Structure 1
Amino acid sequence: MNNGFLGAETRFKKPPSETLVNSAFAYELECSRYVMKGLSIADLAHVMNLSQDEVIQPDVALALIKGLQDVHLRGTDVIPLDPAVGDSYNNRDKYLQSELPALSGYIHIGRARREASTLAWQLCCREKMLNVHKALTKLVATFNDVIAQHHTTYMADFTYLQHAQPTTLAHYLQGFQMPLTRDLDRVENALKMVNQSPACSGSVNGSQIPMDRYRIAELLEFPAVIEHTRDAMWAPDMCLDLMLPLNSIMTTLDRVSEEFIVWNSAEFAYLELDDAHTRTSVIMPQKKNPYGLAYIRGQARALNGTMMSLLSCNQTISGQPDNRLYAYGELPRAMDYVEQCLALFEETLRAARFDKSQLAKAAADNFIISTDLCDMLVKHAGLDNRSAHKIIARAVRNALENAQTKLTLSAVMTAASQLAIVLPAISQDVFDEVSNIPSLIMLRQGVGSAHPDSVKSLASKTARRISLAEDYANELNFEHFEQRFLNRVNEYIAFLEGQCER
């Protein structure tokens, strides 16, 4: 009889079928690289907590913790992975049975497999989410660096890929930076959610085994516990809290990447990507394809599917395994992809070369000031906006019909006359101020406008947010959590050794 599976010779008479093993079990085992180390930490913390609550004797705890520590230090690669055995938890359990045959059974006291797996998954997710936070902070800072170089780089803003109004490259890029800055808040909220301990929940409604939930949370550097034990085991909203900021980040990266792909084309030529972030064509030697940006675009779309998958899986009832089974691998993998895309776009943005003359050429399109001419008529001629709009639209029509590329004050006056709209005299100086792009940009005085002072003010606020984000990451410092945890394990081993010597 095959004794390698959980339940052999007890509830079950025969092992799982080969079809089940090669499908569901094999899929579940794919997440091992994300949760196996966390399972090891969860085991050590659980046994230490049981020992402190005097559920197991000091000599048993000492031998078990030393054995678990030894296994942990060997690394996760030493544990064979066989889908016939089951998931990551079962494969680890089988290995521990061979390494610690007289002791490994104590690990399961008062704890479901689901709890250990959930805890391991949260340990993984909080570390990876902080990595996303750091990469996002770096990109927001790089935007500030690039923005600072382009306060007077004039360009045509777009709607529907048509010239809309004149602006600066600094202001335009800042429009992509702002949602990424808000994503820092979203990521930090997600970290707050995932950084709560589910440990010592029993199965779903607690346990009669005495276990201090706050002590184990402190040991694992969780600042809080998910208080309700059944909720702690499923917390379906946690997956969504983690996934939403990832999708939000990728939405902005996709938008700006798509823009840069267009800008990198010969038809626009606003931007040249560095060789390091492109790829040659196999057949067309002259090409330099924006492959890095295309990769980001593809990942953004793929992660939309991941979001819908996790949303659907977490709509089940009665603690179905869908809630976590698909999240154990998909969410950490999504975090890896987003971290990669953030790093890739940060490099791409920093190394890209913007063609100021080509951007200025587009800004010189005289029709691009049409909206501002409407505003001029409102301000200086006392017209309502609808009348002003009609006049300027007619002036544009006249110019196009006469193959003219420039609007003049006389053309505006003629259009008003054609529409029988009485237009008070407008001075040439007022018209010229609106027609000159640098002076026109300086007329934009509102908060968040393209005026250089407004852009700089917002950049200063962003710089302060970057500093707060860096402080936040340094305070959490999950990068060195494992070493701090192992130090506490050693301290507790020394304590137990002292007890056992008495």
Structure 2
Amino acid sequence: MKLWGGRFEKDTDSLVEDFHSSISFDRRLYKFDIMGSIAHAGMLGRIGILSAEETEKIIGGLECILADIQAGRVEFEVGAEDIHMNVEKLLTERIGDAGKKLHTGRSRNDQVALDFRLFLREEIDNTKDLLTALLETLLDLSSEHLKTWMPGYTHLQKAQPITLSHHLMAYVQMFLRDLGRLGDTRKRLNLSPLGSGALAGTTFALRREEVAAELNFDGVTLNSLDGVSDRDFALEFLAAASIMMMHLSRLCEELIIWSSGEFSFVSIDDAYATGSSIMPQKKNPDVAELVRGKTGRVYGDLITLLTVMKGLPLAYNKDMQEDKECVFDAVDTIQKSLLVIRPMLATMKVNADIMAREAKKGFTNATDLADYLAKKNVPFREAHAIVGRLVLECSRRGCSLEDLTLEELKTVSEFFEEDLYEAISLQTCVQKRSVTGGPAPETVQTAIQFSKETLDQLRW
């Protein structure tokens, strides 16, 4: 008989049994369900609802069940529906009637809300650790490549020269924001809903704050309706994970482009690439491509839960059983992606000579030539037009701006002098851009140090 079956005259249809059951996926919450039950049982003992003997038997039984599940000695039952009732059924079978008292003062509604928060809190911490490791790798690479010149792009067209360090540090800023979003999500998540009951609390004098403190929550939820029906914390995580996957996808997209024969800026280590079953020459950046592809999964997970929640009246509805699989999928996807990207970055070979060579092409110093004239008091719009005409001429002749003689340059502007060649050299173009946030090596070095300090502050 079902634990809730007292008012029913018929058994659940077998089709409904399978459709209704969530044990196939929410078994993943077993540790957190048992943690919450142990804390709840201890509190019930302290307020006299359970005797000392009953409390000891329940906690001991739960600890044994936890050990057995971890050892693979427990087979869950679809008929018991979910992880909560599977654990309670096992407990009652092992310790007798005392197990039936465990559920006093709580509902599966506040129980699952507690389990889900405990689960996601731990997985946010695990994700944070993986993201921190990626950030440390990016910071190491940035420190190593302060003077690795490369072209910067807009519209995927060569624009201005920068350094690889400067480019990588853009991703450091993105991932630092991601780390901050995870921390913000964790703060708002870290309230215990246990004691909210089904929707209206309970008549038992539960010590909610004690249980919350035992489970390392910062406090308790202040509205029982919201306590059981809130999934904002899961949505926040999915939103943060979606943005993080977008950043990972952009990084991977660039690695895919950079490792192509047309660019050859980097070479992916063999351990993080695959070949072709028909073309023996191929070395494919499949890891980066998979991360790019899996980003859509996490977006879908966010849309799934937003759609589930958008029309639900208060308080708990069975629709909310659909909250877990999308979160589980997002957790797995983001963590596997972070886990594989870090060593792929750490082991890739940077072809600095090719990057520097390409930085000299495409008139990436054109803006600097216009700036040179502007510093000679030529209005910038006029300087822009002058350099534009020079670029057009160089394009026709197949040469670069620095290939033009001073005499040729003076035919378009009397303000050109011999010092212009130094002004538009690759190194000068980068090193003179020392404004805060710019690519000059000393400026990027300052940004690296500041980012390391920020990373330390975001650890928790």
| Closer/same/farther in 2, CA of residues 348 and 444 from structure 1, 3 Å limit | same
Q: Which residue of 1 aligns with 2:45?
A: 51
CA distance in 2, matches of 1:406, 1:376: 13
CA distance in 2, matches of 1:231, 1:307: 20
Q: SS of 2:60's equivalent?
A: helix
Task: Please show how residues 410-449 of structure 1 align to structure 2 within 5 Å.
Answer: 410=407, 412-414=409-411, 416=412, 423-429=413-419, 431-449=420-438
Mark the runs of 5 or more structure 1 residues left unpaired by the alignment: 417-422, 473-502
Task: Report if the CA contact (8 A) 1:147-1:169 is conserved.
Answer: yes
Equivalent in 139, 145, 149 of residue 150 of structure 1: 145
Q: SS of 1:101's equivalent?
A: helix
Q: Which moved more, 1:304-313 or 1:87-96?
A: 87-96
| Closer/same/farther in 2, CA of residues 166 and 322 from structure 1, 3 Å limit | farther
Letter in structure 1 aligned against 2:323: A
Tell me the TM-score normalised to structure 1 length.
Answer: 0.87
Q: 2:290 matched to 1:301?
A: no
Letter in structure 1 aligned against 2:416: I
Number of residues of Structure 1 aligned to a counterpart in Structure 2: 456
Equivalent in 158, 163, 174 of residue 179 of structure 1: 174
| Closer/same/farther in 2, CA of residues 411 and 42 from structure 1, 3 Å limit | farther
Equivalent in 342, 345, 355 of residue 338 of structure 2: 342
Q: Which residue of 1 aligns with 2:443?
A: 454
TM-superposition CA deviations, 1:352-376 (whole Å, max 9, x none) = 1010111011011161111222222
CA distance in 2, matches of 1:40, 1:98: 16
Task: Report if the CA contact (8 A) 1:81-1:91 is conserved.
Answer: yes
Letter in structure 1 aligned against 2:370: C
Task: Report if the CA contact (8 A) 1:79-1:91 is conserved.
Answer: no
CA distance in 2, matches of 1:90, 1:411: 86
CA distance in 2, matches of 1:411, 1:11: 97
Mark the runs of 5 or more structure 2 residues left unpaired by the alignment: none
Q: Which residue of 2 aligns with 1:7?
A: 4
Q: 2:384 matched to 1:395?
A: no
Q: SS of 2:448's equivalent?
A: helix
1:424 Cα deviation (Å)?
4.5
Equivalent in 41, 64, 69 of residue 63 of structure 2: 69
Task: Please show how residues 112-123 of structure 1 align to structure 2 within 5 Å.
Answer: 112-123=107-118
1:380 Cα deviation (Å)?
1.7
CA distance in 1, matches of 2:188, 2:124: 11
Q: SS of 2:161's equivalent?
A: strand
Q: 2:126 matched to 1:137?
A: no
CA distance in 2, matches of 1:59, 1:203: 28
Q: 2:269 matched to 1:274?
A: yes
Q: Which residue of 2 aligns with 1:498?
A: none
CA distance in 2, matches of 1:94, 1:411: 90
Q: Which residue of 2 aligns with 1:364?
A: 360
Q: Which residue of 1 aligns with 2:237?
A: 242
1:348 Cα deviation (Å)?
0.7
Tell me the TM-score normalised to structure 2 length.
Answer: 0.94
Equivalent in 362, 369, 376 of residue 372 of structure 2: 376
Q: SS of 1:152's equivalent?
A: coil
CA distance in 2, matches of 1:464, 1:404: 45
Task: Report if the CA contact (8 A) 1:129-1:191 is conserved.
Answer: yes
CA distance in 2, matches of 1:366, 1:79: 65
CA distance in 2, matches of 1:271, 1:411: 38
Note the aligned Cα RMSD (angstroms): 1.9
Letter in structure 2 aligned against 1:170: S
1:312 Cα deviation (Å)?
1.4
Task: Report if the CA contact (8 A) 1:29-1:86 is conserved.
Answer: yes
Q: SS of 1:80's equivalent?
A: coil
| Closer/same/farther in 2, CA of residues 303 and 410 from structure 1, 3 Å limit | farther
TM-superposition CA deviations, 1:271-294 (whole Å, max 9, x none) = 100111111211112111111111
Q: Which residue of 1 aligns with 2:34?
A: 40
CA distance in 2, matches of 1:380, 1:119: 68
Q: Which residue of 2 aligns with 1:95?
A: 90
**Percent identity over paired residues:** 25
Task: Report if the CA contact (8 A) 1:55-1:210 is conserved.
Answer: no
Task: Report if the CA contact (8 A) 2:109-2:197 is conserved.
Answer: no
CA distance in 2, matches of 1:362, 1:257: 21
1:211 Cα deviation (Å)?
0.5
Q: SS of 1:95's equivalent?
A: helix
Task: Report if the CA contact (8 A) 1:16-1:84 is conserved.
Answer: no
CA distance in 1, matches of 2:308, 2:362: 54
